[in-house]
Structure 1
């Protein structure tokens, strides 16, 4: 049986991250690590069983992510959040709890097992930072390096595209596509999708020119990454849900 991160497991990761007050970076890093763990299980000799219980492996991935992103959380808090999600009707475990003590031992031992499964590779390059830096550069490059006449309008335009690109990048993380392509290319493809959704024109003569400047790649490669994303994710639905949530209506960047 092929081991893939299920929708319930992805939802579990999101809920746990929210309860732990983690940033997008920490949540996304933990999610990528979990996808890597699932990939390792698929190469294991016994594909019918995980090395670790599902909830333990998920919380361990988040625990490692808090260390990697320098957003440390107490082991007790990690355990309590995981336990609460697994047992919604229960209360948080007190310090004196034997269950808490047992789970501490399990988490400590499981961390080494997880690290070995990941090949001690916990470095994750996320597309989110590339989205921010690329759009910031594009906003000024569009005006040939000169401050725009209507700074407020440009800010609104950039934020609208950034918000849509960001939510697409989140879906890329959840779908396990981050390790499939370089983060910079994924970011460019997310921006390309977002700009197209908002009727935005690339601030360049052609896609090839834009891709070369901002993704250090070719337009054909960006199109391929975009195709990968759109084949794996229901992009229109994700964007529609995002627009409804934020009360945004797609419109042209040239709209006054």
Structure 2
């Protein structure tokens, strides 16, 4: 019989949920959310270019959320920590990538995103012996050490993808035309929200099925309730669904800051 604790992840405390360290340092909850979403998008985009498996990209995004709930965005560069999370996750998931490749890909992805918003000319590749390259290399190296230190070397991430497949099989939904793919997409999109640091994988897997089944107008057993059989509660399913749906309602604005210095300048341009 499967140990119910074998899939447990460290979750946020009540104090962290009420007010994060970044918010205590003067960042608004909205800006913090936008920055973390942006950091996750950078990780996903860079991971795709680096041909990393989804499990490595997903683990890196969860590590980003974990780190910035014990450290402040006003003290650590979002760009450097995002690179550090992907570098670390690629090793943990046994798909290591060279640090220079991660730096070059992040630089390219960031330049491409900012070019799109400012309509600049062709992207200039990063010079391998430039000061910028050495600054980025130093940044990602320090970030990796800070991640390990502040997370007490607990960088293992249990993900709900395997659970989702098992639950879909149990509910006889694997052959449905829409629900499995929608649920899988919700798992991926949920990485840009706080759900992976607020709920265990079993609850997240149930929530994406719950939302996908509602969107696909599929009725599932209620006597007994199927989510209770899998160890989830209805309020948690509603909360997770709310986080996912709010993600689509308000995408992050363009031009978000990626370093501590950029963040300071950016905050000064915001209305008081």
- Calculate the TM-score normalised by the size of structure 1: 0.72
- Which residue of 2 is the match for residue 195 of structure 1? 213
**Structure with the larger helix share:** 1
Partner SS, residue 116 of structure 1:
helix
Instruction: Give yes or no for contact 1:31–1:174 (8 Å, CA) kept in 2.
Output: yes
Q: Deviations over 1:141-171 (max 9, x none)?
A: xxxxxxxxxxxxx7541x5211111122223
Contact 1:12 1:85 in 2 (8 A): yes
CA RMSD of aligned residues (A): 2.6
CA separation of 1:235/1:86 partners in 2, compared to 1, >3 Å: closer, same or farther?
closer
Q: Tell me the number of residue pairs that the alignment of Structure 1 and Structure 2 aligns.
A: 210
Task: Name the counterpart of 1:206.
Answer: 223
Q: What is the aligned partner in structure 2 of residue 107 from structure 1?
A: 140
Gaps spanning 5+ residues in structure 1: where?
43-47, 140-153, 239-256
- DSSP 3-state at the match of 2:70: helix
- What's the CA shift string for 1:183-216, capped at 9, x where partnerless? 01110121122112212222x45253x2343x1x
Report if the CA contact (8 A) 1:55-1:86 is conserved. Answer: no
Higher relative contact order (CA 8 A, sep 6+): 2
Tell me how far 1:20 sits from its aligned partner: 1.7
Alignment correspondent of 1:229: 240
Using the alignment, how far apart are the partners of 2:92 and 2:179 within structure 1? 29
Larger Rg: 1
- Bigger mean CA deviation after superposition, 21-30 or 76-85: 21-30
Counterparts of 2:189 and 2:198 in 1: how far apart (Å)?
14
Unaligned runs of 5+ in 2: 1-21, 113-121, 250-272
Q: What is the Cα deviation at residue 13 of structure 1?
A: 2.4
Q: Structure 1's 82 and 205: CA in aligned 2 closer, same or farther, altered over 3 A?
A: closer
TM score, norm. by length of structure 2 = 0.68
- Partner-residue secondary structure (3-state), 2:94: coil
> Which residue number corresponds to residue 181 of structure 2?
163
